[in-house]
Amino acid sequence: MTGPSPARERLQRTLLTALGIGALIFGALLAGGASGWIAQIDQLRSPFGLLTVIVGIGVPASYTVMARVVPIRPLLLIAGTTSMVFLAIELLWPSMMREQFLADDATPWIQGVTAVHATAAAISWPRVVGWAYPLSQGPIVAFTQIQVRDDAALPATLDGLGAIIFCLIVCGISIAVISAGERQDAAATHAREQAALEASRRTREAEQNRINAIVHDDVMSVLLAASRPTPPASLADQAVRALASVESLASGHTESRDYDPEEFVAVVRSTAAALDPAIPVRYAVDGDAPLPAGVVAAFAEATAEALRNTLGHAGDDCDPRVECDVDATSARVVVSDRGAGFAATRIPPRRLGIRVSILERMRAVTGGDADVSSAPGRGTTVTLTWSRA
């Protein structure tokens, strides 16, 4: 038995809970009469008679509770082992009787709960066992009845065929339900992997573009300042920063350095310009406290995704714009448009751009958050925020 995934585990627990309820119902229905467990328990050697009731009804009935509190691996081990013990009880039944035949020409009561244990086997064991178990019930039921009833060959054979059909139906349903859970887990895993790969690719591309833009701005500002007839007094400091940027890019350590507010603004501007140079970017800087590289990367990735959504879905005259504000304690970027807008409740769950690349991207950094506000015909506003701890 392999370790289940979340959806599969939930379905297995649900099936075992239903199976426990079914065992309680079958136990009540099979209590009385000549073919009931109350009448037959004394016709079997001790303690085998009691064991048939415990294994046949008691343990399956406990699944109603165990399915809620027991970890999934031990739970499946209990259910799977019990189903195999039940097979052994069926085969040992004739040899454990006190007399050769059951009283009143009755049939073994445990043959009324074969479907319960076949279902448990289908839930707990690999699929091949889930199909083989119900097929085994035909010859086992027929063999047992022939041994414990006088002249019961034809009824025993018919009961065996009935057991196969009934068990195959319930096992098939259980296997189909569990298979659906496995497909759901596989789809969820694939979606997470694809989202992670896409986010990683976009982050690398955005980081490279931002670094190149920052270096370009630093170098060009130094060259422009140096070309003036009277260079400013800060030229030397600007040159040092430009060289530091070039060296950090060459060493590959750019992702670990902090960004001052002006560089952060340059990152946001270059991110917008890379998608559409015509997008206006308004910015305001108040303070000089640096921003961590991870925060800057989150802002850039989320901003890029918001603009991609705007340019791709808002319409030709959506008038996108970006606002960037930085002060000593926080940073904020607002991406807005006057486009078609959308109803958030109608966005399919498989559309991961907003959730993964905007909301979760910002919330993944300490102090980060994001909000998406939109309505049909009223445009969209994406607000990205970060507060210094």
- pTM exceeding the 0.85 threshold for the entire prediction: no
- Asked if the bond preceding 292 is cis, omega within 30° of 0, the reply is no
**In one letter, which amino acid is 70?**
V
331 lies in some domain: yes
Residues 150 and 38 in one domain: yes
Question: What is the rounded CA–CA span in Å between residue 242 and residue 162?
Answer: 84
Residue 242 near residue 272, CB atoms below 8 Å: no
Residue 163 and residue 51 share a domain: yes
* Cα 255–chain centre separation: 30
Q: Is 118 found in the same domain as 13?
A: yes
Q: 20 and 165: one domain?
A: yes
Q: Which of 190, 215, 236 is the last residue of a domain?
A: 190
Structure confidence at residue 176 (pLDDT): 95
In this structure, are 14 and 130 located in the same domain? yes
Return the CATH number at 266.
3.30.565.10
Q: What is the pLDDT of residue 85?
A: 97
Beta-bridge partner residues of 372: 382
> Structural domain tally of the chain?
2
Considering the domain architecture, whether residues 185 and 263 belong to the same structural domain is answered as no
238 located within any domain: no
13 found inside a domain: yes
Q: Which of 144, 166, 190 is the last residue of a domain?
A: 190
155 and 283 assigned to the same domain: no
- Pair (283, 175) in one structural domain: no
263 and 382 share one domain: yes
Does residue 32 form part of some domain? yes
- Model pLDDT, residue 98: 92
Indicate the pLDDT class of residue 220, thresholds 50, 70 and 90: low
Would you place residue 213 in the very low, low, confident or very high pLDDT band (cuts 50, 70, 90)? low
Residue 52 is assigned to a structural domain of this protein? yes
- Parent domain of 142: 6-190
Closest CA to 324 of 384, 364, 273, 380: 384
When pLDDT is cut at 50, 70 and 90, the band that residue 21 belongs to is: very high
Indicate whether 191 pLDDT > 80.
no
Residues 185 and 320 in one domain: no
Residue 203 scores a pLDDT above 70: no
**277-333: per-residue pLDDT in tens?**
888 999 999 988 899 888 998 898 888 888 888 887 777 778 899 999 999 899 999
Least confident of 12-16, 97-101, 250-254, 373-377: 250-254
- Residue in this structure with the two tokens 């038995």, named with its chain if needed: 1
**pLDDT grade for 196, boundaries at 50, 70 and 90:** low
Residues 308 and 180 in one domain: no
| Inter-CA distances, 357 with 161, 196, 302, 374, Å | 57, 9, 6, 17
| Cα–Cα distances in angstroms (integers) from residue 211 to residues 35, 97, 244, 248, 264, in the given order | 82, 84, 12, 9, 11
Query: Residue 196: what residue type?
Result: A
Residues 32 and 159 in one domain: yes
In-domain check, residue 38:
yes
Confidence of residue 4 (pLDDT cuts 50, 70, 90): very low
List the one residue out of 335, 275, 268 whose CA is nearest residue 295.
268
* Domain end point (choices 162, 190, 218): 190
* Each residue's pLDDT tens digit, 95-140: 999 998 999 889 999 999 999 999 999 999 999 999 999 999 999 9
321 within a domain of the structure (yes/no): yes
Residue 134 lies in a domain: yes
pLDDT at residue 352 above 50?
A: no
